[in-house]
Structure 1
Amino acid sequence: MATSMDELTMSQLGSLRWADMRRRVRATVDGRDVVDSPAPLQVWEPYRVVGCYAVPVADVAVRLVNSQTVDASVEHAPILTPDDPFAIHTTPGTVYDLRAGGRTLRGAGFRPRDPDLADHVLLDWSAFDEWREEDQTAIGHPHDPFQRIDCLDTSRHVVVRVGDTVLADSRRPTLLLETHLPPRHYLPREDVRMDLLVPSDTVTVCAYKGVATYWSAVVGDDVVPDVAWTYTDPLTDAEPVRDLICFYDERVSLTVDA
């Protein structure tokens, strides 16, 4: 019987997983490199869909202090995302604070009780001021070596509505495909009723696409919050969708004709 790769990946969600990242990574605190590793791993604790960097303890230039042994947490969501704190550990191990200069990064280190990860410490991405992969700044979270995005020109006819009002009508979208996520259609601004969109204060960060800003739709007396977004200064892989508008399929009526 053939194997679905999506199903195969999800079937391992409850396992402790790791991958060799094959790049140099560095993390800074107050302008100083406190982590510098030519041999990082990416580690996914059970039920996490986004991993963290794990480096040999010798590649951490600050002290690991205040060790605390923990058991695997049994009270957690079925799937853990970057919104779930690093402090939720779903495998047994030892938690450490990192003392960097005058700062203490509480609980920022974790050493799983697993022989394949012996002498490695998992690091809390959010505890550090900046991360770099080689000399390139990384944002959001570590890049997953098994995830990618593709931006494809297409002639599909995309229509976006709220109720009976058309917000966008385009025959020249860019289709953005991201591993394990639903397809998204990015539309030229000329094909969008920008007069019905109001800028929002919402900002999100994607490790692969960059920083997104949002709009809400105002149609008569109805307001649909954060219905659309754009990347005005995208990362390299998302350059084809620069300044294009994408709508949440879940918040509008979006139809696509082949």
Structure 2
Amino acid sequence: MATRISQLLNQSLPTLRYEPTAKRVRANLGGQPVLDTTRALLLWEPRRIVPIYAVPEADVLAELAESRAEVAGAPEEAQVLTPDDAFALHTAAGTAMDVRVPGHTLEAAAFRLADPDLPGIVLLDFRAFDWLEEDQPILAHPRDPFHRIDIVPSSRHVRVEFEGMHLADSAHPVVLFETHLPPRYYLPRADVAWDALLATARTSQCPYKGTANYWALASGGREVAWSYPDSLPESAAIAGLVAFYNERTDVIVDGHRLARPDSPFR
């Protein structure tokens, strides 16, 4: 019987998953070293969709102490946990730890796992520290070795609407295909109806693409579009182009209106 690989990956979501990485991984806090290891694991707690670094406690250079901070577990109704969900929403068994370097104490910024298959392994809050893979800074979260991005130019005709209102129209899209997400159609800025959009103050970071800024409808409501003005080098083909949420707008490709996908961004 044939098995779809994405279904296998989805079936593993409720479990504690890990994968060793050969990269040298370092973290710093205020210029002071917190860890330095060549034995890091990429680790996904149950229901987490992106990995976090877990390392042998012996490779942590900062002081670790059992935390007295109140740490709430993830709510049962949360089917998935995204990078926007707090590190403290743990779904694996373990103990919250404070991280101390001279002049700084970060409460519950580490988590000592209780899993018998991963003895002596500690997770660290990615957002609390500055991280390097080898000598390269990384953004948002560690890169997932099972996650891929392909960026290709296209001659498809793409039109974007919201409740009949024109937002964009282009015959020169660049299509970004990303694991577990719908295709994203990045359009030239000249093909966007800017009078229908209003820039927001929010930014976000992606370890594959860089730092994004956003636009909402000028008439009010949620954000519907984004752009990477200074993308990472490997995503240079989308730098400055504008993409719209397929989940929140009507994207029409070669005359066919796409169904709004079910994703964490709906």
TM-score over 0.5 for the alignment? yes
- 1:215 and 2:215 equivalent? yes
Equivalent residue, structure 2, for 1:193: 193
Equivalent residue, structure 2, for 1:123: 124
Equivalent residue, structure 1, for 2:146: 146
Q: CA deviation at 1:197?
A: 2.6
Number of aligned residue pairs: give it.
253
Whole-Å separation in 1 of the counterparts to 2:189 and 2:250 = 18
- 1:250 and 2:251 equivalent? no
The answer as to whether partners of 1:93 and 1:110 remain within 8 angstroms in 2 is yes
Equivalent residue, structure 1, for 2:27: 27
- Provide the secondary structure at the position in 2 that maps to 1:240: helix
The answer as to whether partners of 1:86 and 1:124 remain within 8 angstroms in 2 is yes
Whole-Å separation in 2 of the counterparts to 1:197 and 1:72 = 38
Q: CA deviation at 1:162?
A: 2.9
- Residues 101-131 of structure 1 show CA distances to partners (whole Å, capped at 9, x for unaligned) of 1111111121212232112211111221x11
Unaligned segments of structure 1, at least 5 residues: none
Whole-Å separation in 1 of the counterparts to 2:86 and 2:52 = 12
Whole-Å separation in 2 of the counterparts to 1:158 and 1:64 = 53
Whole-Å separation in 1 of the counterparts to 2:241 and 2:204 = 16
- Provide the secondary structure at the position in 1 that maps to 2:39: coil
Richer in strand (by share): 1
The answer as to whether partners of 2:71 and 2:88 remain within 8 angstroms in 1 is no
Equivalent residue, structure 1, for 2:175: 175
- Residues 144-176 of structure 1 show CA distances to partners (whole Å, capped at 9, x for unaligned) of 111121111111110112344322111110111
Whole-Å separation in 2 of the counterparts to 1:242 and 1:116 = 43
Equivalent residue, structure 2, for 1:9: 9
- 1:91 and 2:92 equivalent? yes
TM-score (norm 1): 0.91
- Provide the secondary structure at the position in 2 that maps to 1:115: coil
Per the alignment, do residues 98 and 197 of structure 1 end up closer, same or farther by CA in structure 2, a change over 3 Å counting? same
- The one of 219, 225, 230 equivalent to 2:227 is 230
The answer as to whether partners of 2:19 and 2:43 remain within 8 angstroms in 1 is yes
The answer as to whether partners of 2:99 and 2:110 remain within 8 angstroms in 1 is yes
TM-score (norm 2): 0.88
Unaligned segments of structure 2, at least 5 residues: 256-266
- Provide the secondary structure at the position in 2 that maps to 1:116: coil
Per the alignment, do residues 74 and 125 of structure 1 end up closer, same or farther by CA in structure 2, a change over 3 Å counting? closer
- Residues 194-225 of structure 1 show CA distances to partners (whole Å, capped at 9, x for unaligned) of 2333222121111211111112233xxx3354
* Identical-residue share of aligned pairs (%): 47
CA RMSD of aligned residues (A): 2.1
Whole-Å separation in 2 of the counterparts to 1:72 and 1:245 = 38
* Shift >4 Å, 4+ stretches: 70-74
- Provide the secondary structure at the position in 1 that maps to 2:33: strand
